[in-house]
Amino acid sequence: MHPAKSVIFFTTASGAGYGLLVWLAVLAVMGMLPGDMLFGFIAFGLGLGLVTAGLLSSTFHLGHPERAWRAFSQWRSSWLSREGVAAVLAFVPLGLFALTWIFALAPAQTAAMIGVVGAAMSLVTIYTTSMIYGSLRTIPAWHNGWTVAGYLVLGPMNGAVILAFLLALLGAFEAAQVVTIIAAVMLVLGLVVKLLYWQHIHSAPAVSTAGTATGLGHLGKVELSASPHDQDNYLLREMGFRIARKHAAKLRRIAIALGFAVPLACLLLTALLTAPLAQMLLLLVAVFACQIGVTTERWLFFAEAKHAVTLFYGEQAV
């Protein structure tokens, strides 16, 4: 599949934003979320900003972005529509959580409970995003449980890494230590999920072949003798994207190193250092490395997926 930049940014940015907001709610329930107004503006502003920017960028991939509002009407049958509805609904508790916490408009326990509702809606929204891809039977690399697991883990993982840095930056070191542990656990979990996903897409038996797609398999091995078209078309541009195996392997190593290994090493090193500046620098490196690694992983998620229609363009199996 063609890895569109707008969709890559959408899934990574909104995932990180929702993940950040989820952990803010967890800290509020634990009684460890700083009540400092500056921290509130930065943390909640960044979380909601990432979510908003991601959702807006998703419309750029549409043929007619001005008609995006119509997608909300198809929530009974479309995961894309359900995602839009869930995202809008999530803004209500998340916005209330931000306002009540930053401006102390309600007791901390009340704000925390609102945050829990917002966190639940955030996870629901991430789930609906994952199902946009996981529900597509025509793309076996996506139509499996590891797709959903990847989205539900990588978003909160990314958000935890970002939050650990923000807490340390603004001097909330006790909370930063807790979130650092959470982020380290999520990084390990994220790496396991991603490795299992890659193993699955290479070891799972083919769902369809050129023979089953054309209905000629009973006659023997089916191979393409001529291209169905004499020039490039939409299907080839969007669904016929190919990446060389050696390039995919290289990008996977980059995704593993920067998305998981480097951030995890940085987080573990912060436990060995006592200097706040050194800890913040390590956490900053973890944040940037994680963003590059997760973006690379998401690019591969699209680039390595093969649509069943490619069986009519020379692909042997999907």
In a domain, 170, yes or no: yes
Residue with tokens 């001097």: 171
- Mean pLDDT, consecutive 10-residue segments, the chain of 318 residues? 87 97 98 96 98 88 65 84 95 98 96 98 98 94 96 98 97 95 98 97 86 82 73 71 80 97 97 90 97 97 89 78
Q: How many domains does the chain have?
A: 1
In a domain, 196, yes or no: yes
Q: What pLDDT is recorded for position 178?
A: 97
Q: What pLDDT is recorded for position 181?
A: 97
d(CA 227, CA 203): 29
Q: What pLDDT is recorded for position 72?
A: 77
In a domain, 142, yes or no: yes
Q: What pLDDT is recorded for position 114?
A: 98
d(CA 208, CA 176): 49
Map residue 209 onto helix, strand or coil.
strand
> Strand pairing partners for 209?
317
Q: Closest Cα partner for 124 from 95, 148, 100?
A: 148
Q: What pLDDT is recorded for position 246?
A: 79
In a domain, 318, yes or no: no
Contacts of 107 (CB under 8 A, 6+ apart): none
In a domain, 206, yes or no: yes
Q: Which domain holds residue 280?
A: 5-313
pTM of the model: 0.93
CA dihedral for 261, 263, 264, 270, sign (positive or negative): positive
Q: What pLDDT is recorded for position 230?
A: 66
Task: Give the domain CATH number at 230.
Answer: 1.20.1630.10
Contacts of 50 (CB under 8 A, 6+ apart): 13, 14, 16, 17, 20
